[in-house]
Each structure stands twice: as structure tokens, then as C-alpha cells.
Amino acid sequence: MAIRTIIRADNPVLRKKAHRVVDYDKKFQTLVDDMIETMLDAPGVGLAAPQVAVSQRLIVVRLSDDEESKEEFGEEAGKLYVVANPEIIKTSKDVAEGVEGCLSIPGYVGTVDRFETITLKGYDRYGKPLRIKADGWLARVFQHEIDHLDGRLYIDIAKKVWEPKEDEARTTAE
């Protein structure tokens, strides 16, 4: 495993629609492992393959598992999701505004409206179909990461973007 460089918003890879994953081979498994290590090292709660300059439809997500997060997220705290070719197949009618940051746009956060609940389908790291229902913060993280796969950044849809105070930045990182 290796920590990969997270590219910044000015890199054109982040603005392209990523290609579908078709091979779940050794090279793909290495990418998955590297993305997990990179996300945890950053630290972040999600990472999309285009953020490490790989144009594939792959995301990794892991909510924090510290004591506060365990209380807030319950069984979702610390659970690792690896999803290839994710597709949102159902959304709630309810939308919530929340603060987001991004590892590819360090030093800034913004307010973004997202669906409160989503259901997505895709494939695990071995190509086995999966389906995930996500609420709240987890739903927001999935939507943010899937946006990356379509060449969209949170700053494209944010109502407002600003440089956060130090304590605010720690709670909103991607």
C-alpha cells in the first residue's frame, strides 16, 4: 500500500466524467488499498479515484470512529465502504443544508444542499453487487464523492464558500 498524491481543483482530471470499473484485478485492488490509506492519512471521510488522478468510478468512505462519532453515527462509525460504479437509485424528498470540505480544495468549506437519505447501488472491491441506504452525514459524503466521479466539485453547487476557523475545518473535512 502507498499514500498517493491528492490532486487539487485545478487539475483537469477532476473535471472529467470517470470511466466505469470493468476489471477487479490486482491493479484495481492496489488502487483500493492505496485510496483507503490515502484517505485515512489525509485525514478525510471519503475519497474518489479522480482525486488521486485515476479516472475510474471508485469511491472509498469511512466515517470517523472516535467516541463522539460513535455516539452520533452508531454502527456507521468506522465502517469502511468501497464502492465501484456507484449509482444513486433513490433519494428522499427532504434536502438539508450542510457544510462540506474537500481534500482537493484545502483551506475552504462551503454550504451545500444534499438529499437527507439516499439509496445507492454499485459493486464492492471484488465486483460483487451491493446496495446501501444512507442517511444524514453518510448520505452527504456519498453524494459528495459520487459528484467527483461526474467531474463536479462541491464549490460548483455551494451557496457560499469560505475559509473556516481552525476548529471548524476539523469537523468538515471530506
| Residue among 87, 97, 100, 145 flagged as catalytic | 145
With 0-12 CB in 10 A as exposed, 13-18 as middle and 19+ as buried, what is 50? buried
Q: To 5 degrees, how large is the angle CA 1–CA 21–CA 89?
A: 115
Contact (Cβ atoms closer than 8 angstroms) between residue 158 and residue 110: yes
**Residue that has been written with the C-alpha cell 424528498 in this structure:** 93
Comparing C-alpha atoms, which of 139, 133, 132, 98 is closest to residue 116? 139
Known catalytic residue at 76: no
Residues belonging to the active site: 145
